[in-house]
Structure 1
Amino acid sequence: MALYKYNTSGVFSEIKEKPFKLERDIQRMFETNMSEIMGLEMIKSEFTIKDRRIDTLAFDPQSKAFVIIEYKRERNSSVIDQGFTYLSLMLQNQADFILEYNETQARNLKRNDVDWSQTKVVFVSQGFTPNQREAVNFKDLSIELWEVKRYENDSVSITPIRKSHASASIKTVMQNSPEFKEVTEKIKEYSEENLLKGKSDDVVELYESYKNAILNLNTEIEVKPQKWYISFKKANSHICALEIQKNGIKLTINVAKGHLEDSKQLTRDISTVGHFGNGDYELKISDTKYLEYIMSLVKQAIK
């Protein structure tokens, strides 16, 4: 992707790429800005376990799952084999990952507090080959590719490589491989289809109405299905979540207590009770009567 500077005279000048000289520089940038770039908690740099070194260990506070981040040095190396090796390593050594989290974060995370089914590996590189991109293009594969580029004006672009909506299942390709079967049985990729399965046509239609309304608030909003709900994000900022229920939808808005302007008082304060999704406000929805007004509430969470 070419970038240009547009001056007041209406003249374009190309901003040339300035590649990172060392992969360590990319790692340092990500680790220093982990929350801003990926919305994750930084846990450990150069985490070693069972004679294997993990570049960066992080934790996703929304999905309650660990994330392994590797910085690729060889453009032609396999991301599938390495990714599955790390996923298997984590699943077989859960206690070590929890211990590291508790020591660095000074918390008391327990094994059951972690959703191991949402564990994932992220590869970061200045560029991926077509073969590497195609290798991870499976809808239920917990391996992601992120491309990073630096430019001569000190700008940086970070782009998660999206998977095709028509991507096949990794299980159909690796079904006869025992080592892959162990990982794919424990780690799952959740989808809207999973969460809407078995729901009535009325509830599905209600969800589609609110989903489309939320997406229309900003072109950068993305749908991110989780285990129990569907999250809506802009970059790494969580905006709201829709929990599909039997007779309606529960909407959680990611606004801190005392900062939501709700003149109709449709929402309730959930800051002191357990709930899915981020934010201190929620409301139950059974129709589209207040759709426009509710979108004005959601819009307050967009940064």
Structure 2
Amino acid sequence: MPIFKDTFGALKKLNTLPLDKEKSLQKLVEDNLMEVLELHFLATEYATTFGGRIDTLAVDINGAPVIIEYKRNKNESVINQALSYLKWLKAQKPEFFQMLMITHLGQAVADSIKLDWNNPRVICIAESYSKFDVDTVEVVPLRIELFKYRYYEQGIFGLESLTVPEAISHAPPVSIDVVTQKPLSSVALLREKGTSAIRALFDALQEQIINLDEGVEEKATSFYVAYRAAKNFAEVHIGKNQLKIHLRPIDYDDPKNRVDKIPDGYNWTMDRRVYLDSAVDIEYVMSLIEQSYKNVL
């Protein structure tokens, strides 16, 4: 979509500018990898034994290995090239990647990330894509994500996701509801951790979070229910007697001082935390969640 600058009530459309070369795009993203994609940078131009070099090698906050390839212009080979590198990566041993994490992130950070070797991601970043690219991503059963970038005058950079990655394969086992004989979703499995009162509290909170915007996505992991727009903005851990909600690392308007900061040693991106155990506090906690949500827009 076009970007406009508000100058004393007058909107001026910002023009897009070409990047002088592909390496400029790569360096800009690599230097800001955690900010734009929530990834830990591992290596640039990583040489493979299959021939060729991976533009960027990274690991996401959930421990999945990530291959990133860049193209300044429309290029139908960008996905094929990335998939070739993925084939090479999957032929390696997990210990190889674990050592990369230790070497480039340090032992402490590497130890805080549980390597998810079975769910690697491929991210392609380009100015535009062909219909062939989009169709390929839709039918290939792999975690391939397409991002379209725009660079505007006045140093404005935009990154738009064109695809929604598939759920990772190690989701908790499916259970059966003994009454309906229907499989329970992963969210339902996590929900069962709470008492009936906490389940009702989660249901009320879930409805309000999803109603923040039609683009809000809900995804269950092994430990929590994540809500995201461009990035995660809330992660709800369901306990027996309370909900623990992790939020983004910003300064909150929090007159009741309900938000606490997780110690830096944990190296968590979502390092703010608030607890909810009563319906009386839903409105206040939602005001904090909404602040976290606005941080990712």
Q: Structure 2 vs 1, CA of residues 9 and 205 (structure 1 numbering), >3 Å: closer, same or farther?
A: closer
Matches within 5 A, 1:12-91: 14-50=13-49, 51-61=51-61, 63-72=62-71, 75-77=75-77, 79=79, 81-91=80-90
Q: Percent identical across equivalent pairs?
A: 21
1:241 equivalent to 2:241? Answer no
Letter in structure 2 aligned against 1:295: M
C-alpha contact 1:16 1:152 (8 A) present in aligned 2? yes
Matches within 5 A, 1:129-208: 129-137=130-138, 141-163=142-164, 188=169, 193-197=185-189, 206-208=201-203
Measured after TM superposition, the shift of residue 289 of structure 1 is 4.0
Deviation readout 1:116-147 (Å, 9 max, x if unpaired): 23421100001111221222136963110011
**3-state DSSP class of the match of 1:20?**
coil
**3-state DSSP class of the match of 1:116?**
coil
Q: Structure 2 vs 1, CA of residues 146 and 255 (structure 1 numbering), >3 Å: closer, same or farther?
A: closer
Measured after TM superposition, the shift of residue 261 of structure 1 is 4.7
Deviation readout 1:168-207 (Å, 9 max, x if unpaired): x9xxxxxxxxxxxxxxxxx62869943325856x677654
Cα distance in structure 2, aligned partners of 1:75 and 1:25:
17
Cα distance in structure 1, aligned partners of 2:265 and 2:31:
32
Cα distance in structure 1, aligned partners of 2:24 and 2:164:
27
In structure 2, the partner of 1:226 is: 221
Name the TM-score, length of structure 1 as normaliser: 0.70
**Structure 2 gap ranges (5+):** 173-183
1:253 equivalent to 2:240? Answer no
**3-state DSSP class of the match of 1:96?**
helix
In structure 1, the partner of 2:175 is: none
C-alpha contact 2:74 2:129 (8 A) present in aligned 1? no
Aligned residues: 276
Measured after TM superposition, the shift of residue 98 of structure 1 is 1.9
Q: Structure 2 vs 1, CA of residues 207 and 138 (structure 1 numbering), >3 Å: closer, same or farther?
A: farther
Measured after TM superposition, the shift of residue 159 of structure 1 is 0.6
1:279 equivalent to 2:278? Answer no
Please say which of residues 28-37 and 150-159 is displaced more in the overlay.
150-159
Cα distance in structure 2, aligned partners of 1:17 and 1:292:
41
1:97 equivalent to 2:97? Answer yes
Measured after TM superposition, the shift of residue 89 of structure 1 is 2.6
Cα distance in structure 1, aligned partners of 2:31 and 2:246:
28
Cα distance in structure 1, aligned partners of 2:253 and 2:143:
35
C-alpha contact 1:196 1:204 (8 A) present in aligned 2? no
Q: Structure 2 vs 1, CA of residues 207 and 132 (structure 1 numbering), >3 Å: closer, same or farther?
A: farther
**3-state DSSP class of the match of 1:157?**
strand
Q: Structure 2 vs 1, CA of residues 91 and 243 (structure 1 numbering), >3 Å: closer, same or farther?
A: farther
Matches within 5 A, 1:258-269: 261=254, 263=256
Deviation readout 1:68-103 (Å, 9 max, x if unpaired): 111136622262x44443333323322222222211
Q: Structure 2 vs 1, CA of residues 207 and 130 (structure 1 numbering), >3 Å: closer, same or farther?
A: farther
Q: Structure 2 vs 1, CA of residues 232 and 121 (structure 1 numbering), >3 Å: closer, same or farther?
A: same
Name the TM-score, length of structure 2 as normaliser: 0.71
Letter in structure 2 aligned against 1:228: F
Cα distance in structure 2, aligned partners of 1:154 and 1:300:
25
Q: Structure 2 vs 1, CA of residues 272 and 250 (structure 1 numbering), >3 Å: closer, same or farther?
A: farther
C-alpha contact 1:242 1:249 (8 A) present in aligned 2? no
> What is the aligned counterpart of 1:298 among 286, 289, 296?
289
Letter in structure 2 aligned against 1:45: T
**Structure 1 gap ranges (5+):** 170-186
Letter in structure 2 aligned against 1:254: L
